[in-house]
Amino acid sequence: MTSKSELQKKDDVTTIEQFSFLDSYLGKEVSLTLTNGRPMHCKIIKISAYELLVEEGTRMNKPIEKLIFKHAVASIEDRRER
């Protein structure tokens, strides 16, 4: 019989493996496409289980931070300057 701590550990590992690719984008400028088709050019500040905290431009010399739910992101890629 498995203990409660073993079950919780297994769930934590699954979560980490599932979302570990996002860690490579932390602190980088990226291009996001939302599920409604809207493109965003932003910098990823923090990553949580269900959300991304991003910085999209500035207003009055202060960064504009937005909270984006992960399920609202259709695609993500490194931002390329044109």
- pLDDT of 4-62, one tens digit each? 555 445 445 445 566 678 888 899 999 999 999 999 999 999 988 889 999 999 999 99
Position 13 scores a pLDDT of 47
Position 45 scores a pLDDT of 94
Position 24 scores a pLDDT of 85
Between CA 15 and CA 21 the distance in angstroms is: 11
Strands (E), 1-82: 29-34, 39-47, 51-59, 62-69, 73-78
Residue 1 pLDDT exceeds 60: no
